[in-house]
Amino acid sequence: EDMAAHVGASRTPQEVMEHYVSMYIHGNLGKACIPDTIPNRVTDHTCPSGGLTTPLPPLDISVAEQQQLGYMPLRDDYEIEYDQDAETLISGLSVNYDDDDVEIELKRAHVDMYVRKLKERQRRKNIARDYNLVPAFLGKDKKDKEKAPKRKITKEEKELRLKLRPLYQFMSCKEFEDFFENMHKERILRAKIRELQRYRRNGITKMEESAEYEAARHKREKRKENKNIASSKRGKEDGKEGEFAAIENLPGFELLSDREKVLCSSLNLSPARYVTVKTIIIKDHLQKRQGIPSKSRLPSYLDKVLKKRILNFLTESGWISRDAS
């Protein structure tokens, strides 16, 4: 601006600057005074072209969310990073003039290890950005899904996405979404091919005829469904014996009452064995009431728990009196 003021009001500061750059830097004077290669120039290792990491734009989140994540937007860093102790590899290093070759190589190895850890840290940040993991953590992805509804994801695809999650780091988010979209298209095409093959097997050669065929098929399936509903209703009405499938084909089942069937089924006791035990218990009870001494002749397969359950059942049913149990 001072130079522009010296030149006068006829030139703007921008015009004066362009004239100076073209005449004195890129002109003959600049070529003679400024060397092509500047020695000892420091390399900027933060730049994308050959540097350590590629900087990303800061996350677009509120101050409260930054505090929740421990995120520092100006540095694009977190308070707790991946491999938090990576800096300890080089924090104590210093170059001394009396270092021998082994010590220099060791320090270079430490620096190389540190650089690789930084690259891995940045790689994980890139993956988190690509797959929108931060908005997912903050619950913002649900709002985005509501705004732009996509196709409904099937249960099989959800399970497959979960299984393939470890491979996400090797592919971009777009590549994975394209992969699942292509799989979805493949399923649709396979279903369409099977449908067309079914039409051909049934002698349909034109798409106009398929509508009539589908209507007839729908009617058949509806009739079959109504039959199944009617049969299931009948099964519920006659379904008492269905509860006793384990014992209904055993001998003596027809001798049991409904309550005795439930008892045998719950005790996993065959009807014949139950009838035997029931007969012995009632006979012993009658002999005791008549004053005839009798020794219990219960079979060996009847343990204390089974005996107690059967005695309680016979008592509640009125077969024997309560004092006998």
pLDDT in tens, 274-313: 888 888 888 888 888 887 776 667 777 777 788 888 888 8
How confident is residue 149, by pLDDT bands cut at 50, 70 and 90?
low
Is 213 within the bounds of a domain?
Answer: yes
> Within this chain, do residues 259 and 309 fall inside the same structural domain, yes or no?
yes
Residue 96 has pLDDT above 70, yes or no: yes
How confident is residue 267, by pLDDT bands cut at 50, 70 and 90?
confident
How confident is residue 259, by pLDDT bands cut at 50, 70 and 90?
confident
Q: What is the pLDDT of residue 302?
A: 74
Is 140 within the bounds of a domain?
Answer: no
Q: Which two tokens stand for residue 257?
A: 């009452």
Residue 193 has pLDDT above 90, yes or no: yes
**Kindly report the CA angle at 267 between 262 and 269, in degrees rounded to 5?**
95
> Within this chain, do residues 31 and 4 fall inside the same structural domain, yes or no?
yes
Q: What is the pLDDT of residue 186?
A: 92
State whether the Cα torsion 146-151-157-160 is positive or negative.
negative
Is 221 within the bounds of a domain?
Answer: yes
User: Domain range holding 234?
Assistant: 207-239
Task: For 23-69, write each residue's pLDDT tens digit.
Answer: 888 888 888 887 777 777 766 655 555 455 556 777 878 888 888 88
Percent of the chain with pLDDT over 70: 83
Residue with tokens 């601006």: 1
The total number of residues shown for the chain amounts to: 325
Is 306 within the bounds of a domain?
Answer: yes
Q: What is the pLDDT of residue 48?
A: 53
Residues 146-166 have a mean pLDDT of 79
Q: Cβ(107)–Cβ(93) under 8 Å?
A: yes
- Number of domains present in the structure of the chain: 3
Q: What is the pLDDT of residue 221?
A: 85
Is 202 within the bounds of a domain?
Answer: no
Q: Cβ(325)–Cβ(315) under 8 Å?
A: yes
Distance of alpha carbon 134 from alpha carbon 125, whole angstroms = 10
Q: Which two tokens stand for residue 238?
A: 């006659």
Please indicate whether residue 196 or residue 57 has the higher confidence score (pLDDT).
196
Which has the minimum average pLDDT: 50-54, 78-82, 88-92, 163-167? Answer: 50-54
Residue 146 has pLDDT above 60, yes or no: no
206 φψ region: left (φ > 0), alpha (ψ -120 to 50), beta (else): beta
**What SS3 class is residue 227?**
helix
Residue 22 has pLDDT above 70, yes or no: yes
Task: For 197-255, write each residue's pLDDT tens digit.
Answer: 988 888 888 888 888 888 888 888 888 888 878 766 665 555 544 567 777 778 888 88
> Within this chain, do residues 214 and 267 fall inside the same structural domain, yes or no?
no
Q: What is the pLDDT of residue 206?
A: 84
Helix then strand then coil, % of the chain, to nearest 5: 65, 0, 35
Q: Looking at residue 82, what DSSP letter applies?
A: T
Is 5 within the bounds of a domain?
Answer: yes
Is 170 within the bounds of a domain?
Answer: no
Is 86 within the bounds of a domain?
Answer: no
Distance of alpha carbon 136 from alpha carbon 154, whole angstroms = 21
> Within this chain, do residues 266 and 234 fall inside the same structural domain, yes or no?
no
Q: What is the pLDDT of residue 189?
A: 94
Distance of alpha carbon 65 from alpha carbon 53, whole angstroms = 25
> Within this chain, do residues 216 and 257 fall inside the same structural domain, yes or no?
no
Q: What is the pLDDT of residue 236?
A: 55
Q: Which two tokens stand for residue 84?
A: 């938090």
> Within this chain, do residues 217 and 271 fall inside the same structural domain, yes or no?
no
Residue 71 has pLDDT above 60, yes or no: yes
> Within this chain, do residues 271 and 299 fall inside the same structural domain, yes or no?
yes
Q: Cβ(247)–Cβ(273) under 8 Å?
A: no
Q: What is the pLDDT of residue 68?
A: 83
Task: For 97-135, write each residue's pLDDT tens digit.
Answer: 888 889 889 989 999 999 999 889 888 888 888 888 888
**What SS3 class is residue 72?**
strand
> Within this chain, do residues 228 and 265 fall inside the same structural domain, yes or no?
no
